[in-house]
């Protein structure tokens, strides 16, 4: 069930009505029921997976809490030495439990999502050794498995680290896992924030309701007017890139970047808006990423919750590991203060980007995607002192506006190249596309052929440009600190006009119906 389907709208409407009129105690359960219905409609019997996964995490997390409680109850009676020993034992037990939780969760993810990929690798190796091959198992991927696995694993690790107490209400935890607004494309949940909001859940007031509607409409505009149009054009290019020259290739790459950004951020807006209707605020997942001045900054503004999750549970964990501590101690021998602190990061960053790549997809291309950013970030860190010296010698003001614009453009180019790799059907296709833009610079390959082959008129392209420009303006204002939601909350007439105009524009200009090729949400496949 897509977020822009009639079915989803009906489900949300019914859920909202029931939620609004239901007694306080039942509101959570209405959300849980709606989430289960949504899941069953999309993945049918596979709902058993998040249910069982959550059940395991639920019991094992309670076990961790019980271990802590037992220790806390005993520790006053113990001597210092005994307390130390007991704490060590305690830690080992908790670690074992947490390991089981994480392994179980990620094993399910590996089986359902990555089985085909790993089987393919094994077959490639065994065929090269003439050992035959094993049949490729193709399993139906449960809805949102990549997202809810991270959410529930994050919860398990937080309980293990002691930053969160284990949830005693299984239904609350299950709701966190399968919550229907965020199950398909995130944002990846944080249990502490989610749970605290759930505890304060109440009838939404009119302002909250209208804020939700505003955000939903904004998301629908992004997805249905900009993303899907750009997607039709981008898909035509990527499916037939060999026919096109420099101009079309460049246009195709940019159109894909436009497509994926507005598709993903539009979906997140819809999701946050729907959740807002129920009084639950989901975290932001995008913060004007194309205003970033570096790739690191880009990844702090793009898919924010994934970046936060990876930072919290992978980067910090690897940074504090024994191996990394050994690397740090080795790096103490480096004389340069900058590299002394920077080089140890490379080890942790390798895990970060490997995980990022693998999480996104089941092919070598996605691993290469992660490696691409790893190389850029490491190169950036390594050459930073050199860039500083060069800028100082050339008297370039690194804090100036002009240099800032240069950095933004540079980052955008790198990101668009990365997204091209992300979208290309294979690494070979990616290389050919990059060559046609940066090496051959061949203007031939009729752009008119490309234009005639896509079912879009000139006005469709004008609409993409105009609305992208409008979104750019809004993003620029937000970057400068304008609070649009707050402003419209104070100017209610303007809000009504805006909502009416948005609905009209979506109905008239939206990409839907059989005359358009409607595209699924890009990030839903992950």
Residues forming the site for another protein (CB under 8 A) = 20, 203-206, 209, 456-457, 459-460, 463, 496, 499-500, 503-504, 507-510, 512-516
Spell out the alpha helix ranges (H) of 181-227: 191-199, 206-221
427 Rama sector, left if φ>0, alpha if ψ -120 to 50, beta otherwise: alpha
Residue placing its CB nearer to another protein in the complex, 22 or 100: 22
Token pair listed for 431: 């290389």
**Phi, psi dihedrals of residue 204, rounded to the nearest 5°:** -70, 140
In the complex, the smallest distance separating the C-beta of residue 379 from another protein, rounded to whole angstroms, is 44
In the complex, the smallest distance separating the C-beta of residue 317 from another protein, rounded to whole angstroms, is 45
Q: Where are the beta strands (DSSP E) in 75-226?
A: none
- The whole-angstrom separation of Cα 54 and Cα 104 is 11
Residue placing its CB nearer to another protein in the complex, 79 or 514: 514
Residue placing its CB nearer to another protein in the complex, 36 or 485: 485
Residue placing its CB nearer to another protein in the complex, 489 or 509: 509
Residue placing its CB nearer to another protein in the complex, 225 or 304: 225
In the complex, the smallest distance separating the C-beta of residue 115 from another protein, rounded to whole angstroms, is 34
- The whole-angstrom separation of Cα 222 and Cα 206 is 24
In the complex, the smallest distance separating the C-beta of residue 493 from another protein, rounded to whole angstroms, is 8
Query: How buried is 224 (Cβ within 10 angstroms: 0-12 exposed, 13-18 middle, 19+ buried)?
Result: buried
In the complex, the smallest distance separating the C-beta of residue 500 from another protein, rounded to whole angstroms, is 4
Residue placing its CB nearer to another protein in the complex, 259 or 420: 259
In the complex, the smallest distance separating the C-beta of residue 39 from another protein, rounded to whole angstroms, is 25
Integer CA distances (angstroms), 383 to 118, 338, 377, in order: 36, 11, 10
Cα 285 to its chain centre, rounded Å, is 7
- The whole-angstrom separation of Cα 110 and Cα 118 is 9
Q: Alpha-carbon torsion 482, 485, 491, 494, what sign?
A: positive
In the complex, the smallest distance separating the C-beta of residue 492 from another protein, rounded to whole angstroms, is 9
Q: Alpha-carbon torsion 189, 43, 142, 260, what sign?
A: negative
- The whole-angstrom separation of Cα 326 and Cα 412 is 36
In the complex, the smallest distance separating the C-beta of residue 205 from another protein, rounded to whole angstroms, is 6
- The whole-angstrom separation of Cα 50 and Cα 152 is 9
Residue placing its CB nearer to another protein in the complex, 210 or 270: 210
Residue placing its CB nearer to another protein in the complex, 21 or 59: 21
Question: What count of other Cβ atoms lies within 10 Å of the Cβ of residue 441?
Answer: 13
């Amino acid at each position: 069930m897509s977020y822009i389907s009639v079915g989803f709208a009906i489900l949300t409407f019914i859920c909202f009505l029931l939620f609004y009129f239901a007694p306080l105690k039942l509101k959570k359960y209405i959300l849980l029921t709606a989430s289960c219905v949504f899941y069953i409609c999309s993945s049918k019997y596979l709902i058993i997976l998040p249910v069982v996964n959550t059940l395991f995490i639920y019991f094992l997390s309670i076990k961790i809490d019980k271990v802590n409680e037992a220790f806390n109850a005993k520790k006053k009676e113990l001597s210092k030495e005994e307390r130390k020993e007991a704490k060590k034992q305690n830690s080992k037990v908790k670690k074992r439990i947490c390991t089981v939780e994480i392994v179980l969760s990620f094993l399910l993810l590996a089986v359902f999502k990555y089985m085909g990929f790993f089987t393919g690798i094994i077959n490639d190796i065994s065929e090269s050794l003439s050992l035959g091959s094993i049949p490729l198992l193709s399993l139906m991927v449960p809805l949102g498995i990549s997202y809810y696995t991270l959410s529930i694993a994050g919860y398990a690790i937080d309980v293990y680290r002691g930053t969160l107490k284990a949830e005693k209400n299984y239904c609350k935890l299950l709701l966190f896992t399968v919550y229907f607004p965020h199950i398909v494309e995130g944002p990846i949940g944080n249990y502490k924030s989610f749970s605290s909001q759930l505890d304060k859940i109440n009838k939404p007031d009119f302002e909250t309701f209208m804020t939700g509607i505003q955000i939903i409409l904004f998301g629908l505009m992004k997805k249905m007017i900009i993303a899907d149009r750009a997607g039709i054009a981008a898909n035509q290019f990527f499916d037939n890139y060999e026919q096109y020259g420099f101009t079309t290739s460049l246009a195709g790459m940019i159109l894909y970047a436009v497509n994926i950004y507005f598709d993903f951020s539009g979906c997140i807006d819809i999701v946050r808006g729907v959740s807002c209707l129920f009084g639950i605020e989901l975290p932001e997942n995008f913060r004007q990423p194309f205003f970033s001045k570096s790739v690191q900054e880009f990844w702090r503004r793009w898919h924010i919750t994934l970046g936060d999750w990876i930072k919290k549970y992978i980067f910090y964990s690897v940074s504090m590991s024994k191996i990394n501590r050994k690397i740090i101690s080795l790096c103490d021998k480096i004389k340069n203060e900058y590299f002394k602190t920077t080089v140890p990061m490379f080890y942790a960053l390798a895990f970060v980007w490997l995980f990022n790549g693998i999480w996104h997809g089941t092919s070598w291309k996605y691993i290469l995607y992660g490696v691409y950013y790893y190389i850029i970030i490491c190169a950036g860190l390594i050459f930073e002192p050199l860039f500083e010296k060069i800028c100082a010698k050339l008297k370039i003001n690194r804090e100036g506006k002009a240099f800032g614009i240069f950095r933004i453009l540079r980052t955008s180019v790198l990101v668009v190249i990365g997204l091209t790799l992300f979208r290309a059907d294979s690494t070979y296709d990616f290389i050919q596309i990059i060559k046609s833009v940066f090496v051959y610079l061949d203007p031939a390959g009729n752009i008119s052929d490309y234009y005639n082959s896509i079912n879009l008129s000139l006005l469709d392209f004008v609409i993409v440009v105009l609305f992208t420009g409008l979104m750019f303006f809004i993003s620029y204002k937000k970057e400068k600190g304008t609070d649009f939601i707050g402003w419209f909350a104070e100017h209610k007439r303007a809000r009504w006009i805006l909502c009416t105009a948005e609905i009209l524009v979506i109905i008239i200009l939206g990409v839907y119906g059989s005359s358009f090729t409607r595209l699924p949400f890009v990030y839903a496949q992950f």
